[in-house]
Structure 1
Amino acid sequence: MSLPPRIVFAGAATVDLIFKVEALPPGPGKVLPTALAQVAHGMATSAATAAARLGGRCALITRIGDDMMGDRFLAEVGAEGVDCRQVRRFEGVATPLSAVIVDQRGERLIVPYYDPALGSETDWIDAKAIAAADAVQVDIRWPEGAARVLDIAKAAGKIALLDADVGPTQTIVDLARRATHVVFSEPAALAVSGCETIVEAVRALTKSFDAFIAVTGGEQGCFWAEGDRVFQRRAPEVEAVDTLAAGDVFHGAFTLALAEGQLIADAVCFANTAAAISCTVFGGRLGAPGRAAVEELMAQTTTPVIAA
């Protein structure tokens, strides 16, 4: 049997303290949480661990501090089966940390901190490992690293996917021009395109970039363009308790599915299902499912592809 695809993820790494509360605080004061989880997170990190749970051979390129939080991060991500040999540690620098408050509806408030001393250098990134991978996925939180990884992968003829979440518009545009595939969050797609609806944004972004374009819309599922047509596939209905990292799980699953050679519609269904399942568990990426759970729910639900 052939080996599973090898995917390199590059971008954000944090340790998150996730507090579950009845409702998001309306203003200053004290709110008592009903649950707490401490999790190694970050867009690229969560996508990598999600893809690893689904059977991918995954490696992570990111930056953390040489501190106790960094020790925890490496232990936790390594235990998920992710290759952390290209996680660079900086002496005297704090590992990025986020405080996350999640309410009973799954909505959240996130307060992240990235130490400026992490720097932006990329000369330490192993170009050979990137070129040898079947696919790469980057986020926008470390633009310099994302640009280098996308450029190397694209030059090697590999899948080079950008997770385009909310951020500086020019950063998103620059990275999207380097990618073979771009999956936008709805807010980022509307901001970059200047459009008012997802369908309009998909059409506009497809004209703007020489790449496959898709947009995730939460419960609406995923929209994408094939030729002149825009298609939509909804996510299966679940009882969501925590939407944190659902988008990251989608991206990890989608990149894995593409690397496996799945058709776009099938890859979207696979990623939608993985992301939906993750929302049923408190703790962000801790809810990312294994392959069997995704395939079981896919077999039980029908989410047709519709022309948007």
Structure 2
Amino acid sequence: MTAPRIACIGMAALDRTYRMPRLPPAPGKYIASGYSDVGGGMAATASVAVARLGGDALWVGRTGDDPAGEWLRAGLAARGVRHLPELVAPGGITPNSAVLVDPEGERILAVFPGAGLVEQPRFALDGVAAVMADPRWADGAAHAFTLARAMGIPRVLDGEVGAGQILHRLAPMADHILFSERGLREFTGIDDPAAALAAVAARFDAVLAVTLGAAGSLWWRDGDAHPLPAPVVQAVDTTGCGDVFHGAYALAIAEGASVDHAARFATAAAALKAEAGSGWDAAPGRAAVEALLARGW
């Protein structure tokens, strides 16, 4: 069977990652115990997860023609992810992040979203079986969702925190809206995740969920929020776990899985990513995810 092509629209970032004995409690100077440059960004990480899990991954996002952009594009290509060269901006500054990670895998991020990048989306989605988009390039996500709706293919929104009204613009265009806890709180103004999902369900006819980190996720069905626990793992770095979750979920849906199975598949993939460490190479392969699903939790 031909692997389904998943288009992941949004951000790639060079994550400059610092290992810390503990996260800083206050402003000051702190000594890191380790350092590495790793690939990051929500949509780019999701695309690597798709490729690692056996999908045909297409990342649709913006970089500059600077060294960071070259590093990211080469890294994606080496991991089996294709990208669109017309979205490389001459003179642009590629998104990058500073990531502080403690021994339990918790982190603090400072994200620079880039500058001088391509603004107008003019790409096509030939042969794509599902679209996953983050809110970091709103025009690109909206363009992709419009194309996907006309093609009759699934449209998965990574409902992470977005600037201004971006989530409110994109949510009506998606048929699978998977929020982060902070994104859902920002979207609704409601602290309780179950109550917040109920508020969203009153407005949108879509698959709705919120990820809750080590606690797993909540899924809205039959008029109520249903918990899906996550496997208990020893987390090394939780950066990118939500991105792996979204990529794995989009792939499973494109393969014809039910929402329940896609949710468990994505949960297993995210847990294995947390356990494996930092960067794109920590995204799990298909065999590891299937083995965890077979064992159960």
Give the TM-score of the pair, scaled to structure 2.
Answer: 0.95
Mapping of 1:39-58 within 5 angstroms? 39-58=38-57
- Residue identity matched to 1:241: V
Residue aligning to 1:92 = 91
Q: How far 1:113 sits from its partner (Å)?
A: 1.4
Aligned to 1:228: 223
Shift in CA distance, 214/169, structure 1 to aligned 2, threshold 3 Å? farther
Tell whether 2:212 aligns with 1:217. yes
Does the aligned pair in 1 maintain the 2:93–2:115 contact within 8 Å?
no
Q: Which runs of 5+ in 2 are unaligned?
A: none
CA distance in 2, matches of 1:32, 1:281: 24
Q: Which position in structure 2 is the counterpart of 1:172?
A: 167
SS of 1:101's partner is strand
Task: State, as a whole percentage, how many aligned pairs show the same letter.
Answer: 39
Pick one of 175, 178, 181 that aligns with 2:176.
181
Give the superposition deviation at 1:210: 2.5
Contact 1:246 1:285 (8 Å CA) reproduced: no
Superposed displacement of residue 87, structure 1: 6.1
Q: 1:142-153, aligned counterparts within 5 Å?
A: 142-153=137-148
More deviation in 2-11 or 20-29? 20-29
Separation (CA, whole Å) in 1 of partners of 2:56 and 2:266: 17
Provide the C-alpha distance between the structure 2 equivalents of 1:106 and 1:47, rounded to a whole number of angstroms: 19
Unaligned runs of 5+ residues in structure 1 are 303-308
Residue 49 of structure 1 aligns with an amino acid whose one-letter code is V
Dislocated runs of 4+, deviation >6 Å: none
1:265 to 260, 284, 292: 260
Give the distance between the partners of 1:78 and 1:142, measured in 2 at CA. 21
Q: Residue 67 of structure 2 corresponds to which residue in structure 1?
A: 68
Shift in Å at residue 241 of structure 1? 1.6
The alignment yields a C-alpha RMSD, in angstroms, of: 1.5
After superposition, the Cα gap between the structure-2 partners of 1:199 and 1:28, relative to the gap in structure 1 and judged at 3 Å, is closer
Q: CA shift at 1:104, angstroms?
A: 1.5
Matching residue's letter, 1:10: I
1:173-227 CA deviation, whole Å, 9 max, x = no partner?
1100111111000111122123232111221111112321111111221211223
Asked whether the 8 Å contact 1:140–1:171 carries over to 2, the reply is yes
* Conservation of the 8 A alpha-carbon contact between 1:62 and 1:86: no
Measured in 1, the distance between the counterparts of 2:118 and 2:251 equals 29
Alignment of 1:123-142 (within 5 A): 123=122, 125-126=123-124, 128-129=125-126, 132-142=127-137
Partner amino acid, structure 1, of 2:141: A
Question: In structure 2, what is the equivalent of residue 278 of structure 1?
Answer: 273
Compute the TM-score of the two structures, normalised by the length of structure 1. Answer: 0.92
Helix, strand or coil at the partner of 1:280 = helix
CA distance in structure 2 between the aligned counterparts of 1:183 and 1:53, rounded to whole angstroms: 21
Question: For the structure 1 residues 36 and 279, does the alpha-carbon distance in structure 2 shift closer, same or farther, using more than 3 Å as the test?
Answer: same
**Other structure's SS at 1:118 match:** coil
Q: Distance in 2 between matches of 1:173 and 1:193?
A: 10
Q: 1:119 deviation in Å?
A: 4.2
Match in the other structure for 1:203: 198
